Structure 1
Amino acid sequence: MVGGGKAGKSLAMDLAAAGQRVAMVERGMIGGTCINVACIPTKTLVNSARLLALARRAAQFGIDLPGTPAVDIDLLRARKEDVVGTMVAGQRKSFLASGMDLAIGEAHFVVPRTVEVTDDAGTRRTLSGTNVVVNTGMAPFVPDIPGLRAAQPLTSTSILALKSLPRSIIILGGGYIGCEFASMLSIMGVQVTVVQRRGQLLPREDADMSASVAGTLAADGATLVLGAEAAAVSRAGGLVVRVDEFLRTAADNVWAAGDVAGTPQFTHASWNDYRILKANIAGGSWSTKDRLIPYCVFTTPELGRVGLSETEALHGHESSEVIAVIQMAMLGDVPYQQLRDAVITHPTMAEGLQLLLSDAFLEP
């Protein structure tokens, strides 16, 4: 296992606990990106920001708090590091308890299915396996904007190690991560300016959803600069490993999962990759094709989504054929449960009705 992200570590522990010989190479982030520099630390800070916002409204709940609630950056950082540290320690304990060989160092392929691992002391060892899984994740990318690198900009990783809150900050990019940090920092009292290349924040979302998030950020004090083409380049950096729908690479018995495989950059998507890998390494044929991945933007309030946006749905293909199915059901007084549970030809647009009519989509 080259890299111990959500998919890799889960698979490594499973296989090792089942008695297989498993080695996992990790460069340093025990538990992966999520625990160390993404989901866990950022959501810990988001929760602190929400408590701060609530404390400022204490009087509305009949509570008189002395002074003005404010951020203590040292306490904030200590809490974040305690949460992360506790989880990292738990992960290391679980890794070792599974029986895996945990190798801390950097891996390089030297021949097919064989890597050389170099630790911080320069000691090298060689590991080979019948199967190899690459789960190295991705790193933040600094766009090639004149003068930007010289200014030593913060990234979504380095901002988590700040020793003090800045008086002001410019966030290049109004995507999911940018909006989360804008929301959090605005609540904490930082003067935030979000510069977004396109004409709306969260460009994958419907315009009304984007406008709602923009309104919330503005209400918290953030300044939004939209349509600033040159200053808002934002993309993930690093090598993407090409895989098929079964997470196989072009090399025999070499697999990839998580961010590095082009999987949507959510921990729960990587967890699904683990399940697919576990099945397929054992001879199965689980696929990533057409899987439905929900996600949430942890602004305050949050934005969650699964499936097509309204805009995407309005541009859907063969909608005229789908509406005819509904029409026939209505003319025949067919209950929606019967349509939901029918065996409908795959792959067709009409079979999407079964998901649409499921309990998860129907309003109470």
Structure 2
Amino acid sequence: MKYDLIVIGSGPGGYIAAIRASQLGSKVAIIEKYTTLGGTCLNVGCIPSKALLDSSHHYHDAIHNFEAHGISVEAPKVDFGKMVERKAAVVEQTTGGIKYLMDKNKIDVYEGLGSFVDATHVKVSKNDGFEETIEGTNIIIATGSKPSSLPFIQIDKERIITSTEALKLKEIPKKLLVIGGGVIGLELGSVYKRLGSEVAVIEYMDKIVPGMDTDVSKELQKVLKKQGVKFFTSHGVKAVERTGDQVVVKATNKKGEEVEFDGDYCLVSVGRKAYTEGLGLENVGVKVNERGQVEINDHLQTNVSNIYAIGDVVKGAMLAHKAEEEGVVVAEFIAGQKPHIDYNLIPGIVYTWPEVAAVGKTEQELKETGIDYKSGKFLMRALGRSRASMDIDGFVKVLADKNTDEVLGVHIVGARAADLIMEAAVAMEYRASAEDLARICHGHPTYSEALKEAAKAAWDGQPLNA
């Protein structure tokens, strides 16, 4: 069978690329080695983690906040099995939706491992040994990533686990050790802390979410610490050992002293790495860099001009929405259009509670590049909406060019930050100034008023409600 486009991988990048290409008139095939579509995000990542985060948040509210709202209930109990069942149902419904979209857009789906025969032919190998080869004028590599580990850690998938196993545990850990204070570790740590686990986060760097603005990192750590999560930053893990149902993590602190942590589960959350195993890149000479990522140019083309790569398998932040945008860009570029993507305006989000979201430059990046900037900050606790909902933690921080007033970065810790950040992204896409944001009438009472106030603080240093 011959196609205009073959997509290898059905995650957010792959399936969106396939849909957009089909909309633009291409005959498209998509290859997925697993039995369900949607990739890591829909099956063992974004969607199931958010399902558990929402369920555990409801439980946490029932225990800690209902009474203050005048709601008296008997002590709630967790039916963890049912919680996991609900998560699985959400995943099934979402992945089923992708199958519907493939049918709707007349995209042929091949189940099996896709590997290059040459630059235009891909072999599909099924689990039962059956093989077939299909031809594509253009091919997109969208095979995503898998959890990373440390060389000396043996992931047994029982007690020493990755995010994949953490989403389908049979019990709530009594004491969960989390190696890595990044997004995944904090989100899953939050889930189990809310459900009653003791949670200790061990991070090599001197702050959590190291890539985010320092003020954001400090605030998030303060809030999560208040919720009961323990943090051990500047700790380098040296060994992870399991004895029966117990796990011991040995680490060295910043003083050079060896310390030990014990728990019944250890979540290894030290990032993810590009997944290219079995692709047969060597058969076509597609280049990869020293980190195992597929090398691409500004049009997401590999060194083989008809082969493209998107998402986690290439450089940049490993985010589902980044992969989606890249998928659209490639499909439109192949169709002869001139799409663009501004990587500076791809938001980063942490779905703890309060949520964390950011877009643009951090204050540290602006300092390093020597850009003259001004900063405005507004605390969530100053909002009527925050007091009404009891979500008073966090702030909005707006960074703007000192000379032109153009918004250069926005950083939010607070309720619904994941949704609020898109106002900032839209404003920055159109190169709005802090004054522009400050002069837009925002609904009252809303969380979004904090963005207006922070923008005014950055513009003229005079927020109205602080």
Question: Which TM-score bucket, shorter chain as reference?
Answer: 0.7 to 0.9
CA distances 1:95-145 after superposition (whole Å, capped 9, x unpaired):
123211100000111111211111111100001100000111100112112
Q: 2:57 — aligned with what? A: 50
3-state SS of paired residue (1:36): helix
Counterpart residue number, 2:70: 62
Aligned-pair CA distance for 1:220: 2.0
**Residue of structure 1 equivalent to 2:363:** 310
User: What residue in structure 2 maps to residue 3 of structure 1?
Assistant: 9
1:295 equivalent among 344, 348, 372: 348
In the TM superposition, residue 316 of structure 1 has moved relative to its aligned partner by 3.2
Which shows bigger deviation, 144-153 or 260-269?
Answer: 144-153
User: Structure 1 residues 319 and 220 mapped into 2: Cα distance closer, same or farther (>3 Å)?
Assistant: closer
Which string of whole-angstrom CA distances, capped at 9 and with x for unpartnered residues, describes residues 30-83 of structure 1?
1222111111110111111111111112111111101x2232111101100111
Unmatched runs of 5 consecutive residues or more in structure 2 = 1-6, 239-267, 276-291, 374-400, 406-427, 439-450, 454-466
Change (3 A) 1:289 1:83: closer
- Does the aligned pair in 1 maintain the 2:311–2:323 contact within 8 Å? yes
Q: Deviations over 1:310-354 (max 9, x none)?
A: 22223333539x64556xxxxxxxxxxxxxxxxxxxxxxxx9993
Give the total of aligned pairs.
338
The amino acid across from 2:67 in the alignment is A
Q: CA RMSD in A?
A: 2.5
- Percent of aligned positions with the same letter in both sequences? 28
Q: Which amino acid aligns with 1:222?
A: V
Q: How far 1:146 sits from its partner (Å)?
A: 5.2
Change in CA separation of 1:145 and 1:357 when aligned onto 2, cut-off 3 Å: same
Distance 1:325 1:77, change over 3 A: closer
Q: Is the 8 A contact 2:17 2:324 kept in 1?
A: no
1:197 touches 1:227 (CA, 8 Å); kept in 2?
Answer: yes
The equivalent of 1:22 in structure 2 is: 28
* Structure-1 residue corresponding to 2:271: 235
Task: Work out the CA distance in 2 between the residues paired with 1:241 and 1:316.
Answer: 28
Q: Which has the higher contact order (CA 8 A, sep 6+)?
A: 1
Relative to structure 1, the CA distance from residue 318 to residue 88 in structure 2 (aligned partners, 3 Å threshold; closer, same or farther) is closer
TM-score by length of 1: 0.85
Q: Is the 8 A contact 2:182 2:269 kept in 1?
A: no
Q: Give the Cα separation in 2 of the matches to 1:272 and 1:358.
A: 29
Worse-superposed segment, 92-101 or 141-150: 141-150
CA distance in 1, matches of 2:231, 2:89: 34
Query: If each structure's strand is expressed as a fraction of its own residues, which one has the higher value?
Result: 2
1:252 paired with 2:305, answer yes
Mean CA deviation greater in 170-179 or 207-216: 207-216
Match of 2:230 in 1: 223
- Name the CA shift for 1:35/1:325 in 2 (closer, same or farther; >3 Å): closer
Deviation at 1:266, TM superposition (A): 1.6
Cα deviation for residue 11 of structure 1 reads: 2.2
Structure in which a larger fraction of residues adopt helix: 1
The letter for the 2-side match of 1:14 is R
TM-score relative to the length of structure 2: 0.67
Would you say 1:266 and 2:319 are equivalent positions? yes
| Distance in structure 2 (CA, Å) of the matches to 1:65 and 1:290 | 47
CA distance in 1 between counterparts of 2:56 and 2:159 reads: 26
Shift of 1:300: 1.1
CA distance in 2 between partners of 1:151 and 1:88 (Å): 26
What secondary structure does 2:202 align onto?
strand
SS of 1:49 mapped into structure 2: helix
CA distance in 2, matches of 1:262, 1:63: 49
- The answer as to whether partners of 1:7 and 1:274 remain within 8 angstroms in 2 is yes
Contact (CA 8 Å) 1:245, 1:289: kept in 2 or not? no
